[in-house]
Structure 1
Amino acid sequence: MELQQVFKIGIGGPVGSGKTALIEALVPVLVERGHSPGVITNDIYTQEDAEHVRRTLAGTLDGERVTGVETGSCPHTAVRDDPTMNLAAAAEMLDRFPDIDVLLFESGGDNLTLTFSPVLADVFVFVLDTAEGEKMPRKRGPGTTDSDLLVINKIDIAPYVRTDLTIMERDARRVRGEGRVILTDCLAGTGIADVADFVLAQRETVCSPVG
């Protein structure tokens, strides 16, 4: 399988927003729908996220289909400015598992300016969470305003962190115009089917038919 034939999803967002949790919730849905995913995580110095994904998805996804890239620098460099390391990791994974038809790239946690190189991601999903505060969408930034999909995660804890979810969602939709916003609780699975519906719909328009 050539990389250009594989549908590539970039998932970014601030530290702790729930990027890893979103991947761990999304992969079983992709598998259930007949897809063969692979996961590439980015951390500055460790393999922690990759190891967490392997443990959580044990029994659903072969652990060798999850790999971690240690960027050694700002996550922007590895997923936006110079994605060489991620492209090499993807090529190696596809050599080993040519049946993979969806690759999920998780950026290292960073700020609102993070985006993905179009070489690396066909669809860019940006994750905010309610614990960061309802003001976050109003801060804008290309991750919030220009991503293909904005996910507002951890909706279950909004009342406990003094976040008015109605205001946060309203402001997110306001700054994004027609851009899609989906509310999720990744641990409970709320909204995950909607995320899967969205990204797979994008696959039909941006990716060459497989097979």
Structure 2
Amino acid sequence: MDARPSSGAVPLSRVGAARIGIGGPVGSGKTALLERLIPAFAKRAVSIAIVTNDLVTAEDAERIRRSGLIDPARVAAVEAGACPHTVIREDPTLNIAAADDLEALFPDVELILIESGGDNLASTFSLDLVDWWMFVIDVAGGDDIPRKNGPGVLKCDLLVVNKTDLAPYVGVDLDQMASQARAARADRPMVLTNCRKGEGIDAIADRIMAEVLFR
């Protein structure tokens, strides 16, 4: 598969499963998004596996393994042991090895979703690790996030603005936040989601299908 370039980077040429990064601040809803994407890809007959990242635990991996949504053996855990973006950007060796192991165990896998440990707005993914990546922010984190021009918001292939249902309760003008995010990204793709209700999930899955699996 020839991966689409992100942020002007030179694309990979990868044989095997496509690798999708999911980054974003702590509590933005990355794991909840994963839990919604699993059945979304099952509905589309796409075989997937998952790699989660935490600092010194496998908590997110265990949550997904217990969910009943996926064969637990298809979920690998990486313990970063340091700043989370280190193992998705500076030295992604641990994540590459985990994804390689999953492909060896499950040759039918078409898509590997790699969830970063919660980090700040500066986290980005190395294209040695992923072919395409999304960045998750949430309205409860503040409507000023798009205006801060963090690399995660600006450089990702898809910006996900999650927890839209909370906007009225945290004093956020959702339309204004979305408009500012589009302006910051020069109208590059963005999806509004409410992972609790599954809103916006099909739009993300369809975009991955179109831009990564069947481009």
TM-score range, shorter chain: over 0.9
CA RMSD of aligned residues (A): 1.4
SS of structure 1 residue aligned to 2:89: helix
Question: In structure 2, how many angstroms separate the alpha carbons of the residues matched to 1:99 and 1:80?
Answer: 27
Question: In structure 2, how many angstroms separate the alpha carbons of the residues matched to 1:164 and 1:72?
Answer: 37
Aligned to 2:8: none
Q: Which amino acid aligns with 2:128?
A: V
**Structure 1: which 4+ aligned runs deviate by more than 4 Å?**
none
Between stretches 89-98 and 10-19, larger displacement belongs to 89-98
Q: Which amino acid aligns with 1:177?
A: A
Question: In structure 2, how many angstroms separate the alpha carbons of the residues matched to 1:35 and 1:205?
Answer: 12
2:127 counterpart of 1:118: yes
Aligned to 1:156: 165
> Gaps spanning 5+ residues in structure 2: where?
1-13
Aligned to 2:32: 21
2:55 counterpart of 1:44: yes
| Per-residue Cα deviation, 1:178-205 (whole angstroms, up to 9, x for no partner) | 3101000011000000011111111146
| Per-residue Cα deviation, 1:120-141 (whole angstroms, up to 9, x for no partner) | 1111100000100111110111
Give the CA deviation at 1:20: 0.5
Aligned to 1:63: 72
> Gaps spanning 5+ residues in structure 1: where?
207-211
Question: In structure 1, how many angstroms separate the alpha carbons of the residues matched to 2:133 and 2:74?
Answer: 21
Question: In structure 2, how many angstroms separate the alpha carbons of the residues matched to 1:132 and 1:205?
Answer: 34
Aligned to 1:81: 90
Higher helix share: 1
Where in structure 2 are the equivalents of 1:193-204 lying within 5 Å?
193-204=202-213
2:17 counterpart of 1:6: yes
- Contact 2:17-2:103 at 8 Å conserved across structures: no
| Identical-residue share of aligned pairs (%) | 50
| Per-residue Cα deviation, 1:34-86 (whole angstroms, up to 9, x for no partner) | 11100000001000010111122x1x310110111001011111001111001
Question: In structure 2, how many angstroms separate the alpha carbons of the residues matched to 1:124 and 1:45?
Answer: 23
Question: In structure 2, how many angstroms separate the alpha carbons of the residues matched to 1:124 and 1:86?
Answer: 14
Number of residue pairs the alignment of both structures matches: 203
| Per-residue Cα deviation, 1:150-174 (whole angstroms, up to 9, x for no partner) | 0000001111111110111010000
* TM-score in terms of structure 1 length: 0.93
Question: In structure 1, how many angstroms separate the alpha carbons of the residues matched to 2:64 and 2:127?
Answer: 24
Question: Structure 1 residues 99 and 204 mapped into 2: Cα distance closer, same or farther (>3 Å)?
Answer: closer
Aligned to 1:167: 176
SS of structure 2 residue aligned to 1:163: coil
Question: In structure 2, how many angstroms separate the alpha carbons of the residues matched to 1:118 and 1:205?
Answer: 19
2:140 counterpart of 1:137: no
Q: Which amino acid aligns with 2:49?
A: G
Aligned to 1:101: 110
